[in-house]
Structure 1
Amino acid sequence: MFRFIFKTRLVQQRTIDFNINYSNVRYLQTLQSVNSIAAPTGDQQSLTVSYLSNACGLSLEKAIKASKLVDIKNTQKPNSVRQLLRSHGFATSHITSLVSKNPSILLADADKNLKPKMEYFESVGIRGPFLPKFLCSDKRILKSSLKNHIIPTFDFLRGFVETNENLISALKQSTRVIGNNVQKHMGPNLNTLRAHGVPEPHIVRLIMLKPQSLLLRADMFENVVNALKEMGFEPTSMSFIIGFRSMTNFGKSKWESKKETLMSYGWSESDFLLAFKRQPILMLCSVKKIRVLMDFFVKKMGLKSSDIVRCPNLLMFSLERRIIPRVSALKVVMSKKLSKKDIDVVWYLNMSKKDFEKRFLTCYMDGNPEVMEAYKSSLDSRDSFIGF
């Protein structure tokens, strides 16, 4: 009906083209087994392996591999680097992670190269527990030039999100964008969104929600936009941005697996498209969650699969914390015929917690305390619940 384009590994250009003949693709296995890695010889190599293992926490296997990429002749620079990292909140596990990804960091000039970057990151709000997580997420960050890459990248993104707080919020969605040339790769895609009429505040929202999606290859980015328009999403609506986020979040196989799971409960193609349009975040749910909730709604509660199409929000909720307590209370009300009106179960399940308790529970608190008791009871009822 239309072509879906999905997530790519950013800037490294690992794209997914669904017209590829995968039978012609050959994969080269380059990783050596542990047994095939010869232990280094010589005092310097022994010092490198020993330091990587004892001081940085790498396993012997990883230390041997890393020793092929870094040659520690003395411990002065590595010690300075470790001391700097620890002074900025790095635990041993963080140092192990960072050195595993980028062993050469140990030979960097701590005062001239690394310290200015650390101070800059902290100046814009990347501090505390987030700083080690941020720097360990992508080895390219500390390898990048502060003047020529890091500062221009931050300035470019801040030009959209305006504040450091918003910038940090966006980076928490994807720290990897800092390791890429955002000006080069985001620019054409931002222009594509504008050309299709996406409002500027919605573009900013996409940057906040999923900045890495703007680093897709330009032609694939255009295809995602066109696919969403074919599905009936209006570029001027916020749902367009949410749909874009969902469609670029994973590859074709995961998308198809989730779609097939939903359709196995009786959904048609049009049902699927309607549900996705109503709630694009639906496709961010795992196959396991979709199956567990659909089994509960359809097989145990006896709802029709069309009820879920009508309200796909139901698949976003927690079975234990939301669905089961409400169903337990509804079951008591219905079994005792306490309500004079027909109860729309879907409507009550989709209602906010505050409204549900106000409109449904409080009116039964005096004469029928068992309704509230059922609502707050043990969630063991999940195993014994049969239906209405």
Structure 2
Amino acid sequence: MTLFYSGTNESLNVKLLSPMLLVAEKEEAKAVLTLFLKKQGLSNANATKIINRSDPFIDHLISKLHSKHKTWYLSGRELTTLEIRDALISYLESLFEEHGHILVDVVENYPNPPVKDKSAEPIPPPNPSPAVLSKKLKAVSLVSGLDPAAGNLRPHFVYLMELGMEIGQIKTIIRRYPAFANYSLDGKIKPVVEFLLELGMPKEQILIILTKRPQLCGISLSENLKPTMKFLESLGVDKKQWAKVIYRFPALLTYSRQKINESIDFLLELGISEESIGKILTRYPNIVSYSVEDNLRPTAMYFHSLGVDVGLLLFKCPQNFGLSIEANIKPVTEFFLERGYTLEEIGTMISRYGPLYTFSLTGNLMPKWDFFLTMDYPKSELVKFPNFFGYNLERRIKPRYARLKCSGVRLLLNQVLSLSSSKFEDVLKKKMKKLQID
């Protein structure tokens, strides 16, 4: 295994990555290394000392991570916490197999070869002493939430429980993202929570965000989060809607400006105005997470082949661009082709009703189509009103059509479903009255 090197070409160019993402990954790498060293029997204090003077090795771990998953990073895909942990633990285990008890020297002296005669705390044998077991129990306390000295809940747990989070949820966060347990309560967690409260976000939504994206608490408010928000506001994000935007997609604030600009440039390429782009980012910030080359461009080309105004479709229903072409989009096209519609008609349908392709075939389109066949309408009516597939079959479509049949009059499918209950009844009465006069 080649571990020691003098160059810097070990992984992809870090300039391609968000500084916030790098900070979060380094925190995670430190947490993984800490737990690994303690698993080998080192005390928490010694493990912390080693890590504090081993920045080059932490950078090396991040480089290994980027090298292993280079294609994912280049496509804009971020690794999950579990993926990071699995990759780093696997690599650390291979290093331990190679270097054994001098692993500490490897970590401290990187990138230079370890000094074998250096007096360092040895890694104990597999059977730990009672003292070592006690140290391991202290490490476990990070997840259990108990302060091993006082026997009380740790401040992190107390604070989050006061906000309304269940203790089981907190444990899950720390198991999934161990670095969270080492964040300063007053220096990191509280400021982020208070900032979100200032934006007008309800406590229950903040708890959901902390569960989904605990990394946010590891990112500097003044140096990263707030500047990123200002940048996005310059692109048109409505600053009055930040609470909703962050709740919809908290990961938005962790993306680099380069990644965001790539998405913006593509939207401009589609002819979407800057004002509309701001509205898209506000309503559906997830669009930034999609890879331009792997998702946005291929999906745009596919819908363009159906004669669709892609820019307008993306503005109306950006969710379409997160769908798999093979697994989600093509099957819907085939569904309508098999039922006698032309590609041009299908293009008209998706243009008129953007969410059409987001519906499940078996759970939505098929049962509604089957019922449509029992209705006294030509197939062309669905081209005129594809919104039919957006109404609830049992609570809207069937009751309205039954009422229509009882009245003995005819209405356009649009009138049957889109009118409010009172207006629907008014139209029926007028039609029935006219029918009686005639």
| Common fold by TM > 0.5 | yes
Question: 1:322-341 CA distances to partner (integer Å, 9 max, x unpaired)?
Answer: 1112111111012xxxx4xx
2:172 & 2:289 partners in 1: Cα distance? Answer: 25
2:224 & 2:278 partners in 1: Cα distance? Answer: 21
Output aligned runs, 1:166-315, within 5 Å.
Answer: 166-181=241-256, 183-220=257-294, 221-234=296-309, 238-250=312-324, 252-287=326-361, 288-298=363-373, 300-301=374-375, 303-315=377-389
Aligned to 1:148: 223
Aligned counterpart in structure 2 of residue 326 of structure 1, from 395, 400, 419: 400
1:77 & 1:264 partners in 2: Cα distance? Answer: 65
Are the equivalent residues in 1 in contact too, given 2:299–2:325 (CA < 8 A)?
no
Are the equivalent residues in 2 in contact too, given 1:177–1:212 (CA < 8 A)?
yes
Aligned counterpart in structure 2 of residue 359 of structure 1, from 424, 427, 438: 427
AA of the residue aligned to 2:134: D
1:248 & 1:96 partners in 2: Cα distance? Answer: 31
Aligned residues: 312
Are the equivalent residues in 2 in contact too, given 1:225–1:244 (CA < 8 A)?
no
Question: 1:281-333 CA distances to partner (integer Å, 9 max, x unpaired)?
Answer: 111112211112111112x3354443323311000111122111211111101
Q: Which runs of 5+ in 1 are unaligned?
A: 1-10, 17-29, 33-37, 57-71, 369-388
SS of corresponding position for 1:90: coil
Q: Does 1:130 align with 2:205?
A: yes
Aligned counterpart in structure 2 of residue 348 of structure 1, from 401, 409, 415: 415
Aligned to 1:84: 159
Q: Which runs of 5+ in 2 are unaligned?
A: 1-71, 78-85, 90-125
Greater mean alpha carbon deviation, residues 280-289 or residues 171-180? 171-180
Q: Which has the higher helix share?
A: 2
Change (3 A) 1:159 1:76: farther
Change (3 A) 1:243 1:253: same
Q: Does 1:113 align with 2:198?
A: no
2:201 & 2:360 partners in 1: Cα distance? Answer: 31
1:227 & 1:315 partners in 2: Cα distance? Answer: 22
Change (3 A) 1:282 1:196: closer
SS of corresponding position for 1:42: helix
1:323 & 1:78 partners in 2: Cα distance? Answer: 54
Output aligned runs, 1:11-22, within 5 Å.
Answer: 12=73
TM-score after normalising by structure 1: 0.68
Q: Which has the larger radius of gyration?
A: 2
Are the equivalent residues in 1 in contact too, given 2:236–2:277 (CA < 8 A)?
no
Change (3 A) 1:296 1:204: same
Aligned to 1:52: 143
Change (3 A) 1:247 1:111: closer
1:177, distance to aligned residue in structure 2 (A): 1.6
Aligned to 1:377: none
2:272 & 2:152 partners in 1: Cα distance? Answer: 50
AA of the residue aligned to 1:360: L
RMSD of the TM alignment (CA)?
3.6
Aligned to 1:27: none
